[in-house]
Structure 1
Amino acid sequence: MNPLNLEHSWKLLCAKVFGPEYDHPPELEEIGKQIAEKCQGLPLTISVIAGHLSKVARTLESLMDVSRTMGEIIASHPDKFLGVLGLSYRNLPNHLKPFFLSIGSFPEDYPVETWRLIQLWIAEGFIRRPESDKSLEKVEENYLEDLISRNLIIVNKRRFSSQIKVCGMHYLLHEFYLTEVEMTKFMHVERNDVVLTLSTQKYNGRRFSFQINSYSDDRRFKLLPSVARSIYLFSKTHKFVRPEVFSRFHLLRVLTIFDVNESFLSILPVITKLFHLRYLQVRSLAKLPTSISELQNLQTLMYERSYNHATLPEKSWVNFPIDMSSLTKLEALKCVSNAFLSWTPPISIKESFFPASLKRLTFAGWFGFPWEDISTLVKLPNLEELKLKDHAAIGYVWRLRDDDIFESLKLLLFQKVLFTNWVASSDNLPSLKDLVLKKCDNLKEIPIDFREICTLESIELHNCSPFAEDSARKIEKE
């Protein structure tokens, strides 16, 4: 059963609270729809909330109070709600249970990018070998779709190709999750509203997620077992754990540090001694040390260097193939630069070698590519999505020649790109389905010949020039 949309959620809520005639005071409709929307399409949730609403005064103040405390209301009805969820979970095939439980390592309502989730699943070792000749990524994409079809994971955002881009756990499932992971010892989760439970005895688990405001107290990390395999840290404060605490976790495979305002000065040399590390996400003021090359089991590296460029040291290329064309299974690549225009000279991609397998390519930030370099990307036969954001390309004219043909390109997105003239024909983009322009203030016109692209389904403009808007309407009309 698919989740209900807002209209049907509101009708169900009305029927249970006000009767089949939906006879409700008009002033309650707006807040009522907000409550229905928060139920995220689950009839069971609507039923529980409706039962509660039927026992309170039907005033605006009462409904606003219910909207604020829905999580507490659901948690207070374990027999009606958590019991049914437990049945859904227990009916899962055994191989899917760890995939579902791992979602809870992220805080409640946290939007999880699917590519990140899949790489974490691989690093956790939930699948050791593919079931067929499919890649691990493809197998785990199928598992994710399975969990979604069971309404245990919700989709927050999809790509234009309908692939899942962002997902998460229904926030009302979180209470059940916390109970289940502690009971099965799958993971220990510590939240802001939970009193420290590690103060009296050591915890014997392997996975830990700390979703608390401050890590200035290292006591909790000293009580973790040295055999810990995964540590997830979430914080939005300036006080953070000292890097030395990680040095004793010799078997650590996953270390993710999210939402950190305070950067590390010395964490990197400590972390590069963790030989078994497969997934690392960290932010630091320091450069990547040459010892990063010693992490021979590392599969995913997300490194942000505050206030400056992040570069890989020369020695690290001994372990990572420098010619990208050799990465024959690479399908998505996103390059982000935080440099200011005056800091860095333009970069050329003419001599870069991207693999033919590449399907999605994004450049965001100051790279300074001339438009002629962007045209060379036609050599990528499988490229379906190309996104240029925040001055990734420089120059006022993008002129595509007759032989510049993006055979497979379906999505083309420009955001804050400063070009004024775009010279192209329908032959240059024969497979284009979606064209998205955001804050392209200077663009005078979308090539009118795009009306001849038979695959074109939509043109989106956000805060663009009125001239670009006029040309889009002409294309739509013709």
Structure 2
Amino acid sequence: MADAAVEFLLENLKQLLLHHAQLIKDAKGQVEQLQENVGFFKSFLKKVSSKKLRKDDTLKELVRDIRGVIYDADDVIDAFVTQAAEKKTHGYFSKLFNASNGLSLIDVAEKVNAICSRITQIYGGKDKFDLVNLANANDGPDEDALQPTPSRKDNVVGLKDEADKIVGYLNASTSYLDVISIIGMPGLGKTTLAGKIYHDPDIKYEFPTRIWVYVSQEFVVKEVFLSILRQMVTNLNEEDYIKKSASALADEISGALEAGKFLLVMDDVWEPTDWEKLRVCLPKHNVTGKVMITSRQVGVGRYANRFREPHHLRNLNLQESVELLQWEVFSKPEFPSELDGVGREIAENCDGLPLAIVVIGGVLATKVLRSVAAWEKVSSSVTTFLQYDPQNRMDKIISLSYEKLPYHLKECFLYLGMFPEDFEIPAWKLIRMWIAEGLIQPQDGLSMEEIAEYNLDDLINRNLVRVEKLKADGRVKSCRIHDMLREFCRVEGGKDRENFLQEIKQSSDGGLQPSVVEGEKHRRLCIHSHVVDFLNKNPRGPYVRSFVTFAEDIELPTDKISAITAAFKLLRVLEAKPLKFSKLPSDFYQLIHLRYLALSMKLDSNSKASILPKAFNKLWNIQTLVVDTTSRALEIKADVMSMTQLRHLKTNACTTLAKPGKDSKEGEKLQSLGTMSPESCTEAVFDRARNLKKLGIRGKLSLFLDSKSGSFDSLRKLSNLEKLKLLNDVFPKAASDGKLDGLPPAYKFPVKLRSLTLLNTFLDWSHMSILGSLEKLQVLKLKDNAFVGKSWKVDERGFDALEVLHIGRTDLSIWMASAHHFPSLRRLELHNCEKLKEVPLALADIPKLEYLDLQRCKEANASAKLLKAKKGGATFTLSIFPAEA
């Protein structure tokens, strides 16, 4: 794992020499010498693959020492950059090599030279340049090279009898609200089985309203209820619901579930007392709905339903174990003849635990482990775990999988331990945090985001991460990690020799564990509850690079914000969105190493808009800036275009930017920008942000679309723009007052546009023909009142490339369309189309159509059912909410 740190330090030294020449003019020679030696480490690590490290304890110890000294160098440089920036003193970096107190760079340089000498001794006295050449020589296949792991779909093998029994319970009529519980030990497949049933086409049809929530050991009742409501209410107004109590939310859910059949899954309920807290949201009179829970404890199931014993999930039998392993490794139910014997032996020794089988399958699926000898070694390891440590065999199997990960994936995997248990992790967030931490190594011809996304896909294909949601284009939108795998990341990352991460948790006596003193040595801290209590202890983390919290929403006093700044001066990642900042103290801008910042701004009662002051420009290292606000507007007084490293700016409000400086050419790294005010979407901004891939605009769109004074024509300059959101907001006027006269002609839209979202534009349906002319458009989301009018007859040209169509709140009554209008359509969503009489039956003839979702479209429900009957087949899904009695 040291190689990622080496790459990051080399880039740090490069930036130091490039951008801070004046600061280091007295130490330039020493810095260049350090850069050369660190480059030697890079060559050495390139030679030492993961395979060699596993076999040689001497090399393993050496690599640990390299990582330690690299961390030291990184910390010393960043600390002095911070101090030099504060003092603004030329030549200040001479002190790097002459520190009177603490570690100086001369100490680090001596450690580096000592390690260089050890390396040359190991390789028979060869000097550095001989070893660099040796590292670059052909040394056979490199298992650590970036190469694809075969992609595999989730495989649910065996347990058909188990699933049939649960489905039988779901289909049975009862005189009470039935609760079906699935009980079993960790790794037995409770969630997998529940998911298989939940996604079964017959179950989807039988229960049009289906809701799935994750509970976990340290759940917050209100958050669970909010999760349920998000799945029940289209365009849920988060701000309004967050203000409500858990009891009020429970009453709202209970009332909504009183009508019609529903299936509610509560996954991973730990204690009977937890069920007691959750059951209050269930309807009191509707007996046609069903609740399914998974738990490790039989007591939970018995407490939830006194009329039936919980369903105890069995282990897979030998044949099922073999078949699951075959599918995981080869995507078919057979082994190559030479691997059949050893493959069956591995499957048998997994003791019927599905999680063990899929994790081992992820190890064996890599191309470098397809020999009989390699499989026999894995088999021997698994056998040893079973014979000598059966209680901890699952941990050992996860450890085996971890040890066989390529070096570029190990730290990426451990970083998942920073997120709460059962947390749905947005892929974009994880990817950008990885990049900010320096865990992603550059590759020629690929952006850092592309490489990070590749790494995530690799972890998924190795069965270490589970896909939760997919985007319309099939890429990962969000993911989860099994709680046993998360616990491994937490424990492995917290070891003294790693110091990779530490989770701060509340102990049984009400205190926080570990103590603040114990946390000083770790490089990453996460805390998901009692944040203020933690900050009250005035923690000190001089080596901490990530501080992550997904705690409950609270307003953070200014002095507690200053406590973060004082404690963690070298932060690169600050994820603090649940914490509401009313004001940022001046010392916050001392965090000049921040590369990823996510925060929430609470609007001052005397202000009309939240403000990010000019001082934000001091945070010149920021790559990703995420700002949520309780205000409808955000004013950024800092010149974000001059922030040379900025790649992503994401807000939830109409955001006004400061005018960019005339002479500046920065902005080329910007990839996503949203949501900007129309006034800020100027030709000058687009000239500098030519590499934008995503753009969101919110405000009075007529200003932006005006053919004379608007700047829509400038969008054509964004040759890489793929995703565009146009959100019309004329508040405080009524939304209908913002009605647009029309859309620009198709040739004025960006040439690569794949996804378009419109909101409150109140366009006439006749303008849809313009959007049909966008040749690459695959996703079209017409949110509330994007188009209005009683009738829409689709233009003969149609939408050739469109795969996803969402139509939100509208007064549309008659929709005339045929299959040839939407030849590529896969997914159709109709929400709050209360006047729509029917879904065009001819759409059933679209070969690729696989999903139809109706929410609050009562008059069209009958036609949707006819369409499903005409469509037929097990691959088509119809979802209707609210369910009909």
Instruction: Normalising by structure 1, report the TM-score.
Output: 0.75
Query: 1:38 — aligned with what?
Result: 190
Per-residue CA deviation, residues 411-433 of structure 1 (Å, 9 max, x unaligned), is 11224344333344545433222
- Corresponding position: 1:430 with 2:823: yes
Aligned Cα RMSD in Å? 4.3
Q: Output the CA distance in 1 between the equivalents of 2:395 and 2:405.
A: 16
* Contact persistence 1:253–1:278 (CA under 8 A): yes
Q: Output the CA distance in 2 between the equivalents of 1:471 and 1:340.
A: 36
Q: Output the CA distance in 2 between the equivalents of 1:268 and 1:335.
A: 34
Q: Output the CA distance in 2 between the equivalents of 1:298 and 1:101.
A: 23
Task: Go from structure 1 to structure 2 and tell me whether the alpha carbon gap of 1:455 and 1:8 turns closer, same or farther (over 3 Å shift).
Answer: closer
1:153 pairs with 465, 487, 495, which one? Answer: 465
Q: Which has the higher contact order (CA 8 A, sep 6+)?
A: 2
| Structure 2 residue identity aligned to 1:358 | L
Q: Output the CA distance in 1 between the equivalents of 2:658 and 2:627.
A: 17
SS of structure 1 residue aligned to 2:598? strand
Query: 1:445 — aligned with what?
Result: 838
Structure 1 window deviating more from structure 2 (392-401 vs 186-195): it is 392-401
Q: CA deviation at 1:288?
A: 3.4
Matches within 5 A, 1:11-22: none
Query: 1:395 — aligned with what?
Result: 788
Q: Output the CA distance in 2 between the equivalents of 1:195 and 1:180.
A: 20
Query: 2:93 — aligned with what?
Result: none
Q: Output the CA distance in 1 between the equivalents of 2:778 and 2:182.
A: 42
Q: Output the CA distance in 2 between the equivalents of 1:434 and 1:39.
A: 26
| Structure 1 residue identity aligned to 2:629 | R
SS of structure 2 residue aligned to 1:139? helix
- Corresponding position: 1:190 with 2:504: yes
| Structure 2 residue identity aligned to 1:385 | V
SS of structure 2 residue aligned to 1:186? coil
Query: 1:165 — aligned with what?
Result: 477
| Structure 2 residue identity aligned to 1:305 | T
SS of structure 1 residue aligned to 2:815? strand
Q: Output the CA distance in 1 between the equivalents of 2:848 and 2:755.
A: 19
SS of structure 2 residue aligned to 1:313? strand
Query: 1:282 — aligned with what?
Result: 599
Query: 2:581 — aligned with what?
Result: 264
Task: Go from structure 1 to structure 2 and tell me whether the alpha carbon gap of 1:343 and 1:295 turns closer, same or farther (over 3 Å shift).
Answer: farther
Q: Output the CA distance in 2 between the equivalents of 1:269 and 1:381.
A: 50
Query: 1:314 — aligned with what?
Result: 657
Gaps of 5+ in 1: 15-28, 42-52, 68-73
Query: 2:433 — aligned with what?
Result: 120
Larger fraction in helix = 2
Matches within 5 A, 1:221-240: 222-225=539-542, 228-238=544-554, 240=556
- Corresponding position: 1:86 with 2:399: yes
Matches within 5 A, 1:68-467: 79-130=392-443, 132-159=444-471, 161-183=473-495, 184-193=498-507, 195-200=512-517, 203-219=520-536, 222-225=539-542, 228-238=544-554, 240=556, 242-248=560-566, 249=568, 251-260=570-579, 263-267=580-584, 274-286=591-603, 287-291=610-614, 292=616, 295-309=619-633, 310-315=653-658, 319=667, 321-322=685-686, 323-332=714-723, 342=733, 345-346=737-738, 350=743, 355-363=750-758, 366=760, 371=765, 376-378=770-772, 380-389=774-783, 391-397=784-790, 399=792, 402=795, 405-450=798-843, 453-467=846-860
* Contact persistence 2:466–2:479 (CA under 8 A): yes
SS of structure 2 residue aligned to 1:218? helix
| Structure 2 residue identity aligned to 1:187 | L
Q: CA deviation at 1:8?
A: 2.0
* Contact persistence 1:446–1:472 (CA under 8 A): no
Identity of aligned residues (%): 26
Per-residue CA deviation, residues 180-204 of structure 1 (Å, 9 max, x unaligned), is 1111111222234473324336613
SS of structure 1 residue aligned to 2:654? coil
Q: Output the CA distance in 1 between the equivalents of 2:492 and 2:479.
A: 21
SS of structure 2 residue aligned to 1:266? coil
Q: CA deviation at 1:92?
A: 0.8
Query: 2:38 — aligned with what?
Result: none
Per-residue CA deviation, residues 202-241 of structure 1 (Å, 9 max, x unaligned), is 613332211123425524564122x533221222153536
Task: Go from structure 1 to structure 2 and tell me whether the alpha carbon gap of 1:388 and 1:338 turns closer, same or farther (over 3 Å shift).
Answer: same
* Contact persistence 1:213–1:235 (CA under 8 A): yes
| Structure 1 residue identity aligned to 2:482 | H
* Contact persistence 2:433–2:596 (CA under 8 A): yes
Instruction: Normalising by structure 2, report the TM-score.
Output: 0.43
* Contact persistence 2:831–2:857 (CA under 8 A): yes
| Structure 2 residue identity aligned to 1:301 | L
Q: Output the CA distance in 1 between the equivalents of 2:768 and 2:537.
A: 50
Q: Output the CA distance in 1 between the equivalents of 2:802 and 2:464.
A: 34
SS of structure 2 residue aligned to 1:252? coil
Per-residue CA deviation, residues 364-395 of structure 1 (Å, 9 max, x unaligned), is x6565665666543454322122233x15152
Task: Go from structure 1 to structure 2 and tell me whether the alpha carbon gap of 1:300 and 1:422 turns closer, same or farther (over 3 Å shift).
Answer: farther
Q: CA deviation at 1:276?
A: 3.8
Q: Output the CA distance in 2 between the equivalents of 1:339 and 1:98.
A: 46
* Contact persistence 2:632–2:654 (CA under 8 A): no
